[in-house]
Amino acid sequence: MTIAGKRRITPLLLGAMLAASTSTLAHAADGDLTVFDWSGYEDPEFHPAYVEKYGDSPTFAFFADEDEAFAKLMAGFKTDLAHPCSQSVAKWRDAGLLQPLDTSRIKGWDDVMPAFKSMKGLVTTEDGKAWLLPFDWGNTALTYNTEKVKEADVQSLQAFADPKFEGRVSLPDNVDDAYALAVLAIGKKDWSNMSDEEFKQASDFLRKVHKNVRLYWTDGTELAQAMGGGEVDIAWAWNETATTLSADGQPVVMKKDTDEGLSTWVCGYTLMKDAPGNIDKAYDFLSAVNAPEVSNYIVTAWGYGHGNGAGMKAIPKEDLDAAGYGDVDKFVGNTLFQSPVSPEMKQRMIAEFEKIKAGY
């Protein structure tokens, strides 16, 4: 999957990956371990030590967003490991889906970036239990085709609602990312304290954007196909879209310095409470994805940061700069961090987003 150190996605591969993402069990390999994940993370270069030890990757099951994943898990779907993000871990833990991690069995746990370990109630709780191995972190930000869109026209996130871009916009079919955009667009950096009026303003903004939306994308490969094929010119996207398309010579860039900023998230792996598979293999997988040699691949090929601080420090500065992580403080200061919101607010966001997508 790599050419000259880049993750090259051809139209044929995009089609195959997109088709795979629609199946719950799209990649069956080692039957002793199942990982419930985002499409694309079955890439063996994310866990090379596991493949080296066992001769194959685990079995992967896929979800489109964390609300779908939560519903499937609550309905009884069994898996050993899962890959939620920062805003969902507490919800999954409180629902009784997770068991704490035995960090002594995860190689390199001491190298996990301190900023992630100290996240209140996320990685470790007050009782000292760890619930998440931080793996990938990055942004959702304005991404555009530089040959079709002038940079001056996308300096503000208000561009998503500009009538000149009717039929040329794509948003994630993901309530967290969608409301991260909307909350930033109304001038806030913290969505945990939204008033009723601010929630209405954010929702009204998404209704304006809906008039311009060509596609609500469900995974990165679908969006890359749409932007690479000229169907979409402006998107609210993850780092991988610009990284993979630019590696293929496409004029697509992520703009991290819009007036209102961007959204930042951290995701990782959790151990499920009723994991039916091989627990030794589960910890071998966690050690494999946390290995420092994975850092360079995830940064240069996907455009994300890695949770292993030692691995990140070993990456050449020019590669970190190219991925936008050379000066993390510069953009973190103008970001909305996707932290957990109250269950009541989350339900309001879900219900309202469904209405917006339906045109109401």
- My answer on whether 221 and 161 are in the same domain is yes
Say if CB 236 and CB 171 are below 8 A apart.
yes
- My answer on whether 237 and 347 are in the same domain is yes
Question: Among all chains, which residue has been given the structure tokens 């109250």?
Answer: 342
Instruction: Name which of 17-21, 37-41, 121-125, 252-256 the model is least confident about.
Output: 17-21
- My answer on whether 299 and 165 are in the same domain is no
- My answer on whether 21 and 72 are in the same domain is yes
pLDDT at 335: 86
pLDDT, one tens digit per residue, over 34-65 is 999 998 899 999 999 999 999 999 999 999 88
- My answer on whether 149 and 186 are in the same domain is yes
Longest dimension (CA), the chain: 55
Question: Among all chains, which residue has been given the structure tokens 């996308």?
Answer: 154
- My answer on whether 201 and 320 are in the same domain is no
Average pLDDT score, the chain: 88
Instruction: Name which of 306-310, 333-337, 342-346 the model is least confident about.
Output: 333-337
CATH code, domain with 173: 3.40.190.10
Task: State how many domains the chain has.
Answer: 2
Percentage of the chain beyond pLDDT 70 is: 88
- My answer on whether 222 and 319 are in the same domain is no
Residues 6+ apart with CB under 8 A from 126: none
Please give the average per-residue pLDDT across 259-279, as a whole number: 94
Residues 6+ apart with CB under 8 A from 303: 138, 239, 240, 242, 243, 244, 254, 323, 324
Picking from 183, 175, 192, the residue whose alpha carbon sits closest to that of residue 67 is 175
H/E segment holding residue 349: helix 343-357
- My answer on whether 226 and 313 are in the same domain is no
pLDDT at 24: 54
Please give the average per-residue pLDDT across 175-192, as a whole number: 94
Q: Which domain holds residue 62?
A: 2-137+265-329
pLDDT, one tens digit per residue, over 49-107 is 999 999 999 999 999 889 899 999 999 999 999 999 988 898 999 999 999 999 999 99
More confident residue, 292 or 335: 292
Say if CB 176 and CB 338 are below 8 A apart.
yes
Residue environment code for 191-228, b if the CB has 16+ CB neighbours within 10 A, otherwise e = beebeeebbebbbebbebbbebbbbbbbbbbbbbbbbb
- My answer on whether 30 and 111 are in the same domain is yes
Instruction: Name which of 98-107, 122-131, 299-308 the model is least confident about.
Output: 122-131
Other C-beta atoms within 10 Å of 230: how many?
A: 12
- My answer on whether 250 and 199 are in the same domain is yes
- My answer on whether 200 and 291 are in the same domain is no
Distances (CA, A) of 159 to 149, 233, 309: 11, 12, 36
Instruction: Name which of 146-150, 244-248, 276-280 the model is least confident about.
Output: 244-248
- My answer on whether 132 and 146 are in the same domain is no
